[in-house]
Chains A and B, each alone.
Chain A
Amino acid sequence: MNLRPYSAAELFQWLTEKEDFLLLDVRNNVEFDRFKVEGPYPIHMANVPYMEFIEFEEESVAKVPRADKVRIVCAKEGSAKYVGEILVKNGYRDVAYLEAGIKSWGNYLAPARVSGTDGYELHQFRRPGKASCSYALVSGNEMMVFDPAKNISAYQMFAHERGCAVTKTFETHRQADYISGSPQLAASTGAQIIGNENDFHGAAFEYKAVQDNEIFNFSNGGPEIKALHMPGHTPGSTSYLIDNRYLVTGDTVFILSIGRPDLGGKAEEWSKLLYKTLKSKIDVLDDDLIILPGHYIEWGEANSEQMFIDTLGSIKRKNANIYGIQKEADFVQFIVENIRKQPDEYAEIRKVNAGLLKVDDEDQEIMDLGKNECAASMYANK
């Protein structure tokens, strides 16, 4: 069989349907260690850098386990193709390379329907390369999005397929770990950007400054969206309550752990804000509320339908070590003890997300690649 390309969408399907294949990553060890493909099930994965094939072809081929299907990953596609040709020459039968390389995996968005009754549709866009989630809410011929990634064509196509116009793009906060798609989406669709002034003051694009408890509606009525100011992860962090049933929490509530309040360099001050948010804003919410988080740490957080949603009550039980803290000082101590370094690129991503730093597409890809580091504790319950 000849060497052929495969797409990030195919890779996602194989990973979530538990297909049997060898994932051969030919990037160098440094890049491989920084960021690898993840999925809901264990992956049969090997890392043999392409430079080893260039220097020691025979020995490198011998390092590749004999598998019926070999799926190669590299940075951009060229090296995977190069190694693929060597493998085909050496008798591997079913070999394919990832189109456009790891960055296409990093940008890939997989929508899944959270709710499709009551006159509206709510979808979670999982981004397996970042371990992040964004959302689309559709009612009538309008679509509103929450925390879009920079791969905006995915949302635009989604809206187009439903005959919708994108009318609003909500930001839960100014992201540090990925480049927001809101400015681009607003520029190409005319959608209004909504964000809290504490995070977006001085931004180089137009946005509507959202107020605590402010209500947004669709033009046909549709589900009501209520903004709830929840400072902590950032001073402007805002959750959006949809139809009194779903809460888009950004980086405030996760299924495991909570959003780290130290990224702004004011760990103690922002920890106190977050503690107040937990006690005065989150504890008062209904336990049946369905939480739609901005990130996950690991695939184990997904439900049986491979979606990252859970009720608030269940989340509080899973994170009793956090929600059970009854003193501000203990909470600050918990945060400080769990602080770990933030990736170097976060400071620049924050500037890009306020429109204050312009970088070309190639640099955006580099900055935007890799898993998030937004949870206060990597493994809160382990």
Chain B
Amino acid sequence: MSEAINVAKVMDLKGLACPMPVVKVSKGIKEVQVGEILQAVTSDPGALTDFPAWARTSGNEIVKTETVGKETSFYIKRTA
């Protein structure tokens, strides 16, 4: 493992198909403080390009993306 990321909240979005992962993460990010990190775990392949697009739209920052098998974790820093 690389440096540990201090995660304020974890959301399990596995098994959900679009638009639900983005709908939920859009709400979830507002439940952490600005500067804190939300970890969103997804299994929808669409999330790989949808999450970065959402982050650009909403002005939040994905600090790390980690894919293990079919699951991808996005570590999102609330900046907006």
In the complex, the answer to whether A76 meets B46 with C-beta atoms within 8 Å is yes
Interface positions, chain B 12-56, Cβ under 8 Å from A, are 17-20, 22-23, 26, 45-46, 49-50, 52-54
Stretch in A23-31, A136-144, A238-246, A310-318 with 4+ CB within 8 Å of B: A23-31
Q: For the complex, is B58 an interface residue (Cβ under 8 Å from A)? A: yes
In the complex, the answer to whether B54 meets A51 with C-beta atoms within 8 Å is yes
Q: For the complex, is B57 an interface residue (Cβ under 8 Å from A)? A: yes
In the complex, the answer to whether A50 meets B49 with C-beta atoms within 8 Å is no
Q: For the complex, is A264 an interface residue (Cβ under 8 Å from B)? A: no
**Complex CA distance for A56 and B57, rounded to whole angstroms:** 9
In the complex, the answer to whether B50 meets A54 with C-beta atoms within 8 Å is no
In the complex, the answer to whether A78 meets B17 with C-beta atoms within 8 Å is yes
What 0/1 readout, one digit per residue, does chain A (67-107) give for beta carbons within 8 Å of chain B? 00000001110110010000000000000000000000000
Question: Contacts A29-B53, A30-B49, A362-B45 known; A50 to B18 CB distance under 8 Å?
Answer: yes
**Complex CA distance for A54 and B22, rounded to whole angstroms:** 8
Instruction: Report the count of interface residues on B (CB-CB < 8 A).
Output: 16
Which B residues touch A82, using CB under 8 A? 19, 23
How many pairs, one residue from A and one from B, have CB atoms within 8 Å of each other in the complex? 49
Which A residues touch B57, using CB under 8 A? 49, 51-52, 55-56
What 0/1 readout, one digit per residue, does chain A (34-76) give for beta carbons within 8 Å of chain B? 0000000000000001111011100000000000000000111
How distant is B14 from chain A, measured CB to nearest CB, in Å? 14
In the complex, the answer to whether B26 meets A55 with C-beta atoms within 8 Å is yes
**Complex CA distance for A55 and B52, rounded to whole angstroms:** 14
In the complex, the answer to whether A74 meets B18 with C-beta atoms within 8 Å is yes
**Complex CA distance for A74 and B54, rounded to whole angstroms:** 15
**Complex CA distance for A55 and B53, rounded to whole angstroms:** 12
How distant is B50 from chain A, measured CB to nearest CB, in Å? 6
In the complex, the answer to whether A79 meets B19 with C-beta atoms within 8 Å is yes
Residues of B in contact with A (beta carbons under 8 Å apart): 17-20, 22-23, 26, 45-46, 49-50, 52-54, 57-58
* Minimum-distance CB pairs A-B, first 4: A28-B53, A51-B54, A79-B19, A82-B19
